[in-house]
């Protein structure tokens, strides 16, 4: 393709196609193509744009894949405060609100006042700013007056239009104006569960809202792009007249290309409101995302100003929160589970009971402190609750109904699996089994984690088989898996020749799994899939990673002091060198695969930092080129920094580098070095 106009056309066609599939997937929930096909389309577009960089526009879907690393999110001022809502928990209070508004506005009759009822999305509030129709800024609520600029992360959300759509007359008229849209970013329940599966047990998010908040704060927008999030719009300024009613504004938002969820209603009476609340109290469990209530807003926005706000919330709106779903049942037993990292977790075994759309028979009691706080005894009647969380929890004991046969729960002082005395580290709530090397529960946990989907993905290696392999002593650590022989396996229960061969084949295939997966599979505390990817980027071989000190590790994006400590701690254990040697003998990938294809070795072993604006290459491209030449990128200056490239208007890093005696070069010198 050489004719620019044909290329232009091809690019424009691809963009439309991609945005249409985005809509079909995220808004209509009727995807027409597979994720794989979608990724191919996007790749095609990115390749074309790479060839013709002059044709890249800020609203191209290629801008959603992320890649920018934000070190600090600059603070931004909100045009008007982002208020919160007053909560109510009963229909009586909703009625009070309704009557209060009527009285304050001195309306003749309550029938004059219209309310818009919307679902209350359980996510994170953000504000989006558009200039000349283009998204220029996305910010968190912060303290209501001042939030964080998280534009790079916001752009990755498929239901955030990068350009306002121009259908509808009232819309195109105002295209040039500054437009602000507010709404909620949230995660679907299934995407949330999938995300949690990819995280180490000790770092799982409690609910989709926490996961969303955590994701929006990530520094690496490419990682944000991998987690599917949604934006639902519920507030608009700058399009339509000052007096356009709220209901019309929601319709306008849809015309501008926003997702509004579509489940809002105009209510003309208290009765209508009651019906809306009633309808969603059960129906909400069928939604793919979490809602914890209903928001009621006065439809006539001209009255909003008249009513004003208290310090925290407007007087023209209110949130009705559904009561948490509870059920009463009997505590049959408490079992103590030993995790992969030795943590002891008490788990309640319950008489099965229906709760919020599913049957519950187990629930976590978190830790011994929590059990003591509850004062729970065996055979007690307990109340369990499901609020936002996916897993129900025991919230109280029904003391009035304590049966005569109630018995104290015996708290173990030794590990239920290996009888080693338990320990409780200072400042932590959990007890641990310190027998890391020998405790069969920990060994099994490590192997199961190693084989799990986001790690080495060894499907034939399930729980029952792992139990057997560990019990009979064939496997003591993950490296033993790769030295298993067919005759040994055949002798196991429920294991014929066929299954033995299947397992060996699966293990064989797993040798090819990427180095960053292996890093995750090792089960280092706090190192999830995303962190493992960052580590692999910064340290393209395990050898380099093993030598990295704590201070140096904390300069890798998204790695804080506690993760850095835990990585160091892991590699300094006496058993690790032998384990790594054995994994090397087994032929696993202890290096990033890209490493063999180095362009040259001009940056080999050098950690490089950029500061200021690079004129010739973007940050990302420049970083890539360093890695392709054997170097690595770090984020903050330390004694170990080898080289600082200072672009235009360099920041404080330059000063620090000079103080520490780090070599500083210009962009031209950098280019020469490449």
Contact footprint for ligand IVH (CB under 6 A): 83-85, 118, 120-121, 125, 184, 234, 295, 314, 317, 319
Q: Please, what is the minimum distance in Å from the beta carbon of residue 228 to ligand IVH?
A: 19
Give the torsion sign (CA, 429, 434, 440, 442): positive
**Between 144 and 630, whose beta carbon lies closer to ligand IVH?**
144
Spatial CA neighbour of 422 closest among 442, 408, 399, 403: 442
Q: Please, what is the minimum distance in Å from the beta carbon of residue 74 to ligand IVH?
A: 22
Coil/strand/helix, residue 217: coil
Place of tokens 């019906």: 275
Coil/strand/helix, residue 209: helix
**Between 210 and 602, whose beta carbon lies closer to ligand IVH?**
210
255-290 residues labelled b (16+ CB within 10 A) or e (exposed): bbbbbbbebbbebeebeebeebbeebeeebeeeebb
Cβ neighbours, 10 Å, residue 152: 22
**Between 184 and 480, whose beta carbon lies closer to ligand IVH?**
184
- Report how far residue 23's alpha carbon sits from residue 287's, in angstroms, rounded to the nearest whole number: 18
Q: Please, what is the minimum distance in Å from the beta carbon of residue 247 to ligand IVH?
A: 13
* Cα–Cα distance list, 609 to 140, 543, 556, 602 (Å): 28, 22, 11, 15
Q: Please, what is the minimum distance in Å from the beta carbon of residue 126 to ligand IVH?
A: 9
**Between 125 and 181, whose beta carbon lies closer to ligand IVH?**
125
Q: Residues, the chain, total?
A: 674
- Report how far residue 509's alpha carbon sits from residue 22's, in angstroms, rounded to the nearest whole number: 34
- Assign 3-class secondary structure to 544-567: HHHHCCHHHHCCCCCCCHHHHHHH
- Report how far residue 325's alpha carbon sits from residue 392's, in angstroms, rounded to the nearest whole number: 9
Tokens for 534, please give them. 């960052």
* Gyration radius of the chain's alpha carbons: 29
Query: Are 70 and 155 contacting, i.e. CB atoms less than 8 angstroms apart?
Result: no
SS3 content of the chain, % helix, strand, coil (to 5): 40, 20, 40
Which residue pairs from 130-134 have beta carbons closer than 8 angstroms and sit at least 24 positions apart in sequence?
A: 130/164, 130/178, 130/179, 130/180, 130/181, 130/238, 131/178, 131/179, 132/175, 132/176, 133/163, 133/164, 133/166, 133/175, 133/176, 133/179, 134/58, 134/59, 134/162, 134/163, 134/164
Q: Please, what is the minimum distance in Å from the beta carbon of residue 22 to ligand IVH?
A: 22
Q: Please, what is the minimum distance in Å from the beta carbon of residue 105 to ligand IVH?
A: 18
Q: Please, what is the minimum distance in Å from the beta carbon of residue 154 to ligand IVH?
A: 15
Which residue pairs from 176-179 have beta carbons closer than 8 angstroms and sit at least 24 positions apart in sequence?
A: 176/132, 176/133, 177/238, 177/239, 178/129, 178/130, 178/131, 178/238, 179/129, 179/130, 179/131, 179/133, 179/236, 179/237, 179/238, 179/239, 179/256
- Report how far residue 257's alpha carbon sits from residue 31's, in angstroms, rounded to the nearest whole number: 18
Spatial CA neighbour of 171 closest among 240, 258, 232: 240
Spatial CA neighbour of 462 closest among 446, 473, 474, 451: 451
**Between 250 and 548, whose beta carbon lies closer to ligand IVH?**
250
Q: Please, what is the minimum distance in Å from the beta carbon of residue 139 to ligand IVH?
A: 13
**Between 234 and 520, whose beta carbon lies closer to ligand IVH?**
234
**Between 118 and 220, whose beta carbon lies closer to ligand IVH?**
118
Query: Are 645 and 665 contacting, i.e. CB atoms less than 8 angstroms apart?
Result: yes
Query: Are 241 and 174 contacting, i.e. CB atoms less than 8 angstroms apart?
Result: no
Catalytic member of 120, 537, 591, 653? 120
**Between 96 and 197, whose beta carbon lies closer to ligand IVH?**
96
- Report how far residue 140's alpha carbon sits from residue 146's, in angstroms, rounded to the nearest whole number: 8
Tokens for 450, please give them. 């190693």
Q: Please, what is the minimum distance in Å from the beta carbon of residue 142 to ligand IVH?
A: 11
**Between 124 and 456, whose beta carbon lies closer to ligand IVH?**
124
Query: Are 604 and 591 contacting, i.e. CB atoms less than 8 angstroms apart?
Result: no
Which residue, judged by CB position, is nearest to ligand IVH in the bound state? 125
End-to-end alpha carbon distance in the chain: 30
**Between 140 and 219, whose beta carbon lies closer to ligand IVH?**
140
- Report how far residue 300's alpha carbon sits from residue 294's, in angstroms, rounded to the nearest whole number: 18
Task: For residue 120, indicate whether it is catalytic.
Answer: yes
Tokens for 595, please give them. 């490493």
**Between 181 and 503, whose beta carbon lies closer to ligand IVH?**
181
Query: Are 83 and 314 contacting, i.e. CB atoms less than 8 angstroms apart?
Result: yes
**Between 236 and 532, whose beta carbon lies closer to ligand IVH?**
236
Q: Please, what is the minimum distance in Å from the beta carbon of residue 144 to ligand IVH?
A: 9
Tokens for 400, please give them. 């009035």
Q: Please, what is the minimum distance in Å from the beta carbon of residue 232 to ligand IVH?
A: 7
Q: How far is CA 166 from the centre of its chain?
A: 32
Q: Please, what is the minimum distance in Å from the beta carbon of residue 116 to ligand IVH?
A: 9
Residues catalogued as catalytic: 120
């Amino acid at each position: 393709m050489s004719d620019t106009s044909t290329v232009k056309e091809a690019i424009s066609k691809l963009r439309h196609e991609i945005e249409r599939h985005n809509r079909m997937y995220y808004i209509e929930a009727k995807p027409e193509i597979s994720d794989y096909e979608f990724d191919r389309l996007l790749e095609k577009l990115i390749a074309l744009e790479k060839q013709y960089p002059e044709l890249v526009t800020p609203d191209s879907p290629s801008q959603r894949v992320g890649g920018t690393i934000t070190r600090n999110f600059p603070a931004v001022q909100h045009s008007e405060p982002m208020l919160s809502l007053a909560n109510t928990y009963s229909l009586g209070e909703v009625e009070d609100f309704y009557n209060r508004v009527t009285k304050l506005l001195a309306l003749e009759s309550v029938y004059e006042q219209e309310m818009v009822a919307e679902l209350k999305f359980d996510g994170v509030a953000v504000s989006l700013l558009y200039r000349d129709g283009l998204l220029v800024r996305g910010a968190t609520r912060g303290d209501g007056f001042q939030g964080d600029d998280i534009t790079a992360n916001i752009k990755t959300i498929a239901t955030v239009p990068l350009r306002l759509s121009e259908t509808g007359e009232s819309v195109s008229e105002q295209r040039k104006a500054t437009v602000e849209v507010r709404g909620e970013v949230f995660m679907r329940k299934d995407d949330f569960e999938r995300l949690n599966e990819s995280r180490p047990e000790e770092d799982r998010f409690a609910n989709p809202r926490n996961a969303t908040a955590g994701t929006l704060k990530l520094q690496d927008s490419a990682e944000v792009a991998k987690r599917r999030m949604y934006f639902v719009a519920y507030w608009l300024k700058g399009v339509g007249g000052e007096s356009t009613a709220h209901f019309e504004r929601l319709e306008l938002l849809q015309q501008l290309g926003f997702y509004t969820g579509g489940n809002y209603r105009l209510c003309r009476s208290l009765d209508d409101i009651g019906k809306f609340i009633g309808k969603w109290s059960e129906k909400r469990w069928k939604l793919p995302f979490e809602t914890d209530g209903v928001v009621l807003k006065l439809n006539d926005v001209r009255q909003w100003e008249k009513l004003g706000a208290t310090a925290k919330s407007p007087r023209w709106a209110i949130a009705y929160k559904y009561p948490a779903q509870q059920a009463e049942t009997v505590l049959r037993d408490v079992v103590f589970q030993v995790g992969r990292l030795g943590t002891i977790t008490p788990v309640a075994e319950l008489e099965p009971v229906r709760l919020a759309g599913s049957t519950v028979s187990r629930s976590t009691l978190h830790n011994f402190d929590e059990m003591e706080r509850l004062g729970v005894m065996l055979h007690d009647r307990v109340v369990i609750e499901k609020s936002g969380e996916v897993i129900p929890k025991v919230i109280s004991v029904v003391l009035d109904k304590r049966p005569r046969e109630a018995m104290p729960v015996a708290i173990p002082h030794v590990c239920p699996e290996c009888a080693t005395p338990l320990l409780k580290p200072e400042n932590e709530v959990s007890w641990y089994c310190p027998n890391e090397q020998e405790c069969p529960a920990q060994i099994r946990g490590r192997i199961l984690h190693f084989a799990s989907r986001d790690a080495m993905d060894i499907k034939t290696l399930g729980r029952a088989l792992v139990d057997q392999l560990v019990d009979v002593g064939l496997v003591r650590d993950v490296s033993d898996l790769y030295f298993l022989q067919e005759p040994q396996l055949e002798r196991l229960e429920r294991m014929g020749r066929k299954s033995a061969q299947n397992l060996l084949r699966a293990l064989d295939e797993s040798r090819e799994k990427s180095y960053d997966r292996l890093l995750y599979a090792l089960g280092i505390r706090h190192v999830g899939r995303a962190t493992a990817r960052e580590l692999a980027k910064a340290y393209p071989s395990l050898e380099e990673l093993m030598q990295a000190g704590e201070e140096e590790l904390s300069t890798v994006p998204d790695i804080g002091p506690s993760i850095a400590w835990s990585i160091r701690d892991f590699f300094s254990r006496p058993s690790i060198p032998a384990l790594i040697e054995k994994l090397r003998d087994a032929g696993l990938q202890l290096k990033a695969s890209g490493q063999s294809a180095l362009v040259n070795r001009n940056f080999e072993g050098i950690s490089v930092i950029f500061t200021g604006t690079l004129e010739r290459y973007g940050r990302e491209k420049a970083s890539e080129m360093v890695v392709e030449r054997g170097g690595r990128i770090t984020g903050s200056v330390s004694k170990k920094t080898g080289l600082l490239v200072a672009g235009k208007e360099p920041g404080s890093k330059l000063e620090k580098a000079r103080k520490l005696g780090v070599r500083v070069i210009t962009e031209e010198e950098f280019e020469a070095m490449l």
